[in-house]
Structure 1
């Protein structure tokens, strides 16, 4: 077990792991002082109990392998970052919806991503690929990871202007954006009826795959109706809808930047209306 709290990058370097097929979560956890066991669980996907410098992580033996691996990485994140607390018990929603707020569940999800989708391995395989769930599934198969965690990694580190939005029938849960989009454009509180996600949230129909939609169905900007984006949405088992938004035509972002600069200049002259 490492003598000090290490980052995922340091842990993988210590273990000499350089390829996705070597990312064995059981071996990584054991190196960190946590033993992974599998048994049927009800009401949660995984749990961890720690004492002094050892922990037991129990993972639902009935879950798909990709979810088991992410559950192991998530609980290991609790062990490495939240040690000293008595125990954690995490359900499916922790892994799907716990990506936004600053809390132990979000931190544990991020730790799991750094362990199972390390950037040094992920970026060369994802760079420049289309931002669709077909791409996400291929990368998820390579790394044996969940669709949600892989989609987030693709948006944040795939190198193309994009966004991933998580909606439930009740509200927008969270979103992440690529560096080209982050801090510049924001999704609406709810997608409009012209979006694929709106249909999935209100019915049980199947996703259509990537479609071109007008930007104002998704984005809160005065000139969003002038542009189009590519949307790929899918419904998860609990009714949550994940939507990948991709600015395939990057000229749109350049135009919006120019428009914002022009309007900012006009507002400094005392004009406040959008034109």
Structure 2
């Protein structure tokens, strides 16, 4: 039996059976957050202040609408898991990525499960033979979620052996792999100068996945024996997110490995 997350438990208890039913204000009210305010904040993107069983969430309206939704869901995560604390969430805390730590990681996980619950996401994820930007956009529209949060959740479903890798100006920032992808496939710190992702970094759009040697992404002996499908896009804050589909069954086999020298 698959264990459901606290966020999914809340959604099921409210009778949420479709993505359009995920009404954050109604969910917040049910959780004891009787008001969501929108006003400019200094030094943070959102905050929650509670007393007893009731709380107020404040969100900065200058953020994009889908980021505001994630911010609300994030604060609800704090309310569920960190009751009684006053928390001010800065931009770095709301990265919608696996890089957050401690209480922020817990709140981010709650937000992802609330906005993209597995029991609604998984049936849709199974309809895609591979993970593409088009698929991510379609699911993001359906759930009114950000591209980053959606891409992460789709990789995590494991229906397609894949990875999502984020690069910033200083190199790789984080990555997430599907459950069935062996740990030996650990992406390089920097983008391959001859890869397709570097084109996106330089301002060129990518409109379809393209095959590339796996050694462009993995500094692993024998990686040049395989190909992966690569597709990248630029986020609003300038990071490069790359979807990697592992198309060779042999890449999913567990085996001893060594890195190139």
Aligned residues: 253
Following the alignment from structure 2 to structure 1, what is the Cα–Cα distance between the partners of residues 259 and 50?
58
Cα distance in 2, alignment partners of residues 156 and 136 from structure 1: 13
What is the aligned partner in structure 2 of residue 111 from structure 1? 110
Q: Using a 3 Å threshold, how does the CA distance of structure 1 residues 38 and 273 change in structure 2: closer, same or farther?
A: closer
Larger Rg: 1
CA distance in 2, matches of 1:32, 1:185: 41
Comparing 161-170 and 177-186, the one that deviates more: 177-186
Determine if contact 2:96/2:108 at 8 Å carries over to the other structure.
no
1:121 match = 120
User: Whole-Å Cα distance in 1 between the matches of residues 251 and 182 of structure 2?
Assistant: 12
Match of 1:70 in 2: 70
Task: Report the equivalent of 1:32.
Answer: 31
Contact 1:77 1:112 in 2 (8 A): yes
Look up the SS of the partner of 1:186 in the other structure.
coil
Deviations 1:42-71, CA, capped at 9 Å, x for gaps: 553322222222221112223332222111
Q: Secondary structure at the match of 2:95?
A: helix
* Aligned counterparts, 1:1-275, within 5 A: 7-34=6-33, 35-41=35-41, 43-91=43-91, 93-96=92-95, 98-129=97-128, 130-201=130-201, 203=202, 205-209=203-207, 210-247=209-246, 249-253=247-251, 257=254, 260=255
**Where do 5+ consecutive residues of structure 1 fail to align?**
1-5, 264-271
Q: TM-score, normalised by structure 1?
A: 0.84
The TM-score with structure 2 as length reference comes to 0.88
Give the SS at the match of 1:159. Answer: coil
In 1: Cα distance, 2:111 partner to 2:125 partner: 18
Give RMSD over aligned pairs: 2.3
Deviations 1:220-244 (A, max 9, x none): 3211112111111111232211111
| Aligned partner of residue 18 in structure 1, secondary structure | coil
Structure 1 residue 157: Cα displacement = 0.5
Q: Aligned in 2, Cα 1:8/1:222: closer, same or farther, shift over 3 Å?
A: same
Q: CA deviation at 1:253?
A: 1.7
Q: Unpaired runs of 5+ in structure 2?
A: none
Secondary structure of 1:181 counterpart: coil
